[in-house]
Structure 1
Amino acid sequence: MEMTGQSFSRYFVATLLLQMITPSSEQFTVNGIEGPILAPLGGKVELSCQLSPPQTAEHMEIRWFRNHYKRPVHLYKDGKDLYGETISNYVERTELLTDAIGEGKVTLRIFSVNADDDGTYHCFFKDGDFYEEAITEVKVTATSLETQILVHPPNTKGLLVECNSGGWFPQPQMEWRDSREEIIPPSSKSHSQDTDKLFNMKMTLLIQSTHGNVTCYLRNPVTGQEEKISIVLSNKPFLWNTVWKLILGLILALPLTFTMASSIALHHRLQRAQIRGARSSLQSPLCLRACTGYCLPVTRHTVPISDPHFELDVMWLEDMTVILCVLMVFITMIISSAYFRLRGCLQN
């Protein structure tokens, strides 16, 4: 019994000395926040991580970094913050909350969040030669409150409606919808990014018939927040477009109709003159032209110049051609004046 007690005493002392001489480096894991953290543009975001099992981390190196270990967002070492080793984008924009560091919990606070802060962050703990880390994802979000619809003056193709919105992050979903909430395919869609990497959106729609009202929808894919703006379209632009096309068709058809009628009338008059027994002159083909440039050949007949109907026919044709040209110019001026007046009213 005496030898057993001495052996136990020696073992206890040796174990105690070994613990005092050998520094303890207990293994641990690092737990971060699950799921992405939403960070509003211009605001602040807090990222926390915790040692498991809980233990003090005052003597450890605590490093927050993005893609490169040697380029920390924030560095805590030897019981103090080392701002000198922080990358320039985060200088004076980060703060490490160490109120619970005795339990192994720290929180990184980032101020003035911008689009470049979007992405993954590594929370790294190192104790001696042992280290562990946790990864947290940050989603920067921005929703525009400045969305507007522009209506361009109508033309022969239809009415062009344009929707503009800027200051989004990430790139939003954008679409046109009608009064029944059904999606209307856009005529065009484009986007650009400004110096702050925020998205500016543009979408157009060419309307050829009335849709009642159309709505421009934008949706942030991260937060699900939607912005929309609607505009009610009247039938006036489309009615004017139809009237303009009809008038234009009449203007184009009038010279041709007149030329054909004149040709037929002159043809009958020449036939009557030929029946009377005339034998003379017109050896070249007749070509009737109006001021639009249409030309219709007339069958050659032998008509004497002495026939009294010959001079009357020629003079009648010339007079009607001049009257037609003057009438076309007058109608075109009236229609153009009415068109520009209506377009000015629609713009106002």
Structure 2
Amino acid sequence: MGSIGSGVMGATEVLTSYCVVLCLLQMVALSSGHFTVIGSQRPILATLGGNVELNCQLSPPQQAQHMEIRWFRNRYTQPVHLYRNGKNLHGETMSKYVERTELLTDAFNEGKVILRILNVTVDDGGAYHCVFKDGEFYEEHITEVKVTATSSDIQILMHTPNIKGVMLECHSGGWFPQPHMEWRNSKGEVIQATSKFHSQDKNKLFNMSMVLFIEASSHRNVICYFQNLVTHQEQSINIVLSGELFSWKIVWIMILSTISFVMIDFCMTYCVQQQLIHEESLSTVDNDQCESDQSEGTCYKRNYPWIIIAVVPIISVFAIIGVMLFLHLEQRVSISDSLFSLYNSWLTDISMILGFLLSIFIVTTIAKSSLFNKKWCIGLCIHMKEAEATGGPCEGEEL
């Protein structure tokens, strides 16, 4: 029993000695300044215009009030915030961080500090070094900051519809970093954008813009979609296009076609009517007189104006319609071109002008031919009087 008791006491003494040695070694390590600095391993997200807090602490936890604590970006000699000898030395920090940083020291006894950056800007993104220095010994931890800005201001602008379709522009500004943007249909499927543009303002925020050309037979409900690739925040706006926007195209084609057919029909009817009148007038002229007139070209001249009236307007109608179809079907400007909308508007305007000029041309031609016909009738009557030496007015003589 005595030997067993002495053995237990010996083991206890050895264990106690071991614990004392460990404590002494830890005290020596702490007194010699050996420690590490730990902090967040993931990037810290900072909202533009808000505040962000970066923390780091000593391991193992220990008193840090007597140490120098330095936060800096790229250069050690240009601190973001500097704490030394129990004071915050704002005069030695970078100018753009003056009065924009705070060092929270509530947990100094545990070796934990928090740097608060106020009114975050785009330039505040990047790596931050947290350095604890005790005498000649120091350790650091690097924390990554990512600045983000998401905008809810999205606008869709619609250009004037043309014969091919309608052009939509989606604009949104105030994003950082550059967001992902796309057009989608009502089912959430991606629609290929006609073109995309982006720019940065003086604050380095991204202004995004994309264009979509919708054909008359294409989508009616489209969505302009944006996503912040850092925070994965989403913003979108949709527009529903009424079918009435494209109905004018059919109406315009029907009007132009109706005008063309009415003009052709009117010309042909008028020509036939005038030809019958002329044939009736010519029937009163004896064959011998007509033959003598024919030798002088009179009979040929009598029919010549009606050939012009019949052929010229018809050829003009088909020629102008052919030109308009050629201009509309031949793609000369790319849809992604900034002048595409203007180009199509010009085609629409020139088509209406050509149609209007066509109508004026036909009416003018008929009016002139009618005036020529009346003069010809009067000349015919005079000729008949001289040839036959008979009285009686001729139709149109009083004119």
> What is the CA distance between 1:254 and its match in structure 2?
10
User: For 2:167, which of 160, 165, 179 is the aligned residue?
Assistant: 160
Task: Map Cα deviations across residues 270-304 of structure 1 (whole Å, 9 max, x no partner).
Answer: xxxxxx9x99xxxxxxxxxxxxxxxxxxxxxxx85
Distance 1:135 1:329, change over 3 A: closer
> What is the CA distance between 1:155 and its match in structure 2?
2.0
User: For 1:59, which of 49, 63, 66 is the aligned residue?
Assistant: 66
Partner of 1:234: 242
Partner of 1:192: 199
Q: Which amino acid in the other structure matches residue 94 of structure 2?
A: I
User: For 1:68, which of 49, 65, 75 is the aligned residue?
Assistant: 75
Q: Which amino acid in the other structure matches residue 232 of structure 1?
A: V
User: For 2:158, which of 151, 162, 170 is the aligned residue?
Assistant: 151
Distance 1:93 1:100, change over 3 A: same
What is the DSSP-based 3-state SS (H/G/I as helix, E as strand, rest coil) of the residue aligned with 1:24? Answer: helix
Task: Map Cα deviations across residues 111-136 of structure 1 (whole Å, 9 max, x no partner).
Answer: 11111111111111111111111111
Q: 1 CA distance for matches of 2:85 and 2:129? A: 20
User: For 1:78, which of 81, 85, 94 is the aligned residue?
Assistant: 85
Higher Cα Rg: structure 1 or 2? 2
Superposed, which structure 2 residues align to 1:1-348 within 5 Å?
Answer: 24-209=31-216, 210-244=218-252, 305-306=296-297, 308=299, 310-320=300-310, 331-332=355-356
Q: Which has the higher helix share?
A: 2
What number of residue pairs does the alignment pair up?
A: 279
8 Å CA contact 1:158, 1:241 repeated in 2: no
> What is the CA distance between 1:332 and its match in structure 2?
2.1
Any unmatched runs of 5+ in structure 1?
1-15, 260-275, 280-302, 336-348
> What is the CA distance between 1:305 and its match in structure 2?
4.7
Q: 2 CA distance for matches of 1:63 and 1:119? A: 16
8 Å CA contact 2:264, 2:313 repeated in 1: no
Q: 1 CA distance for matches of 2:234 and 2:296? A: 84
8 Å CA contact 1:25, 1:128 repeated in 2: no
Any unmatched runs of 5+ in structure 2?
1-23, 268-286, 321-351, 360-399
Query: Normalized against structure 1, the TM-score is what?
Result: 0.70
Distance 1:71 1:251, change over 3 A: farther
Identity, in percent, stands at 57
Q: 2 CA distance for matches of 1:80 and 1:256? A: 98
Q: 2 CA distance for matches of 1:252 and 1:115? A: 63
8 Å CA contact 2:227, 2:233 repeated in 1: yes
> What is the CA distance between 1:25 and its match in structure 2?
2.4
> What is the CA distance between 1:32 and its match in structure 2?
0.9
Q: 2 CA distance for matches of 1:78 and 1:334? A: 94
Task: Map Cα deviations across residues 48-84 of structure 1 (whole Å, 9 max, x no partner).
Answer: 1010011111121111011111111101111111101
Q: 1 CA distance for matches of 2:358 and 2:235? A: 44
Q: Which amino acid in the other structure matches residue 192 of structure 2?
A: P
Distance 1:321 1:34, change over 3 A: same
What is the DSSP-based 3-state SS (H/G/I as helix, E as strand, rest coil) of the residue aligned with 1:238? Answer: helix
Q: 2 CA distance for matches of 1:198 and 1:55? A: 43
Q: 1 CA distance for matches of 2:354 and 2:143? A: 75
Q: 2 CA distance for matches of 1:155 and 1:253? A: 24
Q: Which amino acid in the other structure matches residue 212 of structure 2?
A: L
Q: 2 CA distance for matches of 1:165 and 1:202? A: 7
Q: Which amino acid in the other structure matches residue 131 of structure 2?
A: F
Distance 1:323 1:118, change over 3 A: same
Q: CA RMSD for the aligned pairs?
A: 3.8
Q: Between 180-189 and 229-238, report the one with greater CA deviation.
A: 229-238
Query: Normalized against structure 2, the TM-score is what?
Result: 0.61
> What is the CA distance between 1:255 and its match in structure 2?
10
Q: Which has the higher strand share?
A: 1
Task: Map Cα deviations across residues 233-273 of structure 1 (whole Å, 9 max, x no partner).
Answer: 122233323454566688899999999xxxxxxxxxxxxxx
